[in-house]
Structure 1
Amino acid sequence: MLLFLDVDGPLIPFGAADRAHPLYDGPLVPAAGASWPPGPRPAAPVHADHPLLARVDPALGPRLAGLGCELVWATTWMDEANAALAPWLGLPALPVVRWPDEDEPPGPLHWKTRPLVAWAAGRPFVWVDDEITEADRSWTAAHHPGPALPHRVDHRYGLTDTDFRVLGDWLAAL
């Protein structure tokens, strides 16, 4: 079972007008099956290039790993997700979806939908993103032979307990 994971929105919340986003600085715990490399543990992910990284809750790493899926970065961050986020989340380096260079045809379908269905190659998958629409769900259902859950996360709050319940219930039903 694959779990395609976007960064901006699901892991880095933004845009909530009703509350301030919490900032995290540890403690860090590696996810199941991962271990810290020799040397000091990662510090809070504060980078000039990515000033919002401190909004990433490090507890999400163990929760995502606990779902029992093969985690795959499905983000424009590409390899930067492994460099900046995986250590903070206590995760090992994850596979990264490489996006095609050609432009997607105009329409309601998200530009990630076709490449993710192709990457899954018929395997069951969950796709966690903040830009999924009904068009993506319908297209996936029509073009992917295996079970798939394109799950939209509210970008204002990122992954929540409710999202994890939805993912866990769907995975358990398989």
Structure 2
Amino acid sequence: MEPTLPLLFLDVDGPLNPWRAKPHRRPEGYTTLRMRPTGWEPPGPALRVWLNPAHGPLLLGLGFRLVWATTWKTEANTWIGPVLGLPELPAVDWPQMHHRDPEGVHWKTRYLVTSAAGRPFAWVDDEIGPRDRAWIARHHTGPGLAHRVDPAKGLLPDDFAALREWAAEVAGGGAP
């Protein structure tokens, strides 16, 4: 019987698209793309997105079951996944986005814990804070990792190493 992989809830803007990098300096290894996902309706140019095609194989090799946890929802499979060489991934279906939480946690936090349903999970996002980590520790019955990524840099080798190590510890029965 094959072991169940931990989930990796993956945000797009910040971790994969370093949107806060200086607009005139595309990060090394990244490709500049113009996209118009649903909801990007302002007049003028399409949304500028920077993606690093090398991230796809790295993500697939981490030892996780990948799940989109982004406002792009399933459109990440249309716009983001093909550039990275990712297969179609499930996506969290947010009942409500961008709302204020009564306990001050990120609006995604409760939904991700519910979606994980006790399974081990890591969450990669640029908007994670100490309240999110504390809330996950109190309310999630399995191992959980909330890994913040700098939105000006995106995922870096140290981020991939930390995620790979955490997944290996969980798979080996260790307590991360």
- TM score, norm. by length of structure 1: 0.81
Q: Does 1:99 align with 2:94?
A: yes
Distance 2:131 2:138 in 1: 11
Q: How does 1:25-104 map to 2 (within 5 A)?
A: 25=31, 45-48=33-36, 50-53=46-49, 55-101=50-96, 103-104=99-100
Distance 1:88 1:161 in 2: 19
The 1:5/1:118 distance shift into structure 2, 3 A limit, reads same
Distance 2:96 2:104 in 1: 19
> Aligned residue for 1:142?
138
Q: How many pairs are equivalent? A: 155
> Aligned residue for 1:6?
11
Output the aligned Cα RMSD.
2.2
Aligned equivalent of 1:113, options 109, 113, 137? 109
CA-to-aligned-CA distance 1:129-166 (integer Å, 9 cap, x gap): 00000100000001001001010000110000111111
The 1:107/1:142 distance shift into structure 2, 3 A limit, reads closer
> Aligned residue for 2:174?
none
* Runs (5+) with no aligned partner, structure 2: 1-5, 41-45, 171-176
Distance 1:69 1:95 in 2: 13
Contact 2:63 2:164 in 1 (8 A): no
Distance 2:157 2:96 in 1: 35
Contact 1:45 1:85 in 2 (8 A): no
Q: Does 1:161 align with 2:149?
A: no
Q: Does 1:152 align with 2:119?
A: no
Distance 2:127 2:100 in 1: 15
Paired AA for residue 47 in structure 1: M
What secondary structure sits across from 2:123 in the alignment? strand
Q: How much has 1:21 moved relative to structure 2?
A: 2.2
CA-to-aligned-CA distance 1:118-139 (integer Å, 9 cap, x gap): 0000000010000000100000
Q: Does 1:123 align with 2:119?
A: yes
Contact 1:45 1:84 in 2 (8 A): no
Contact 2:106 2:127 in 1 (8 A): yes
Paired AA for residue 146 in structure 1: G
Instruction: Answer 1 or 2: which has greater strand percent.
Output: 2
* Runs (5+) with no aligned partner, structure 1: 26-43
Q: How much has 1:104 moved relative to structure 2?
A: 4.6
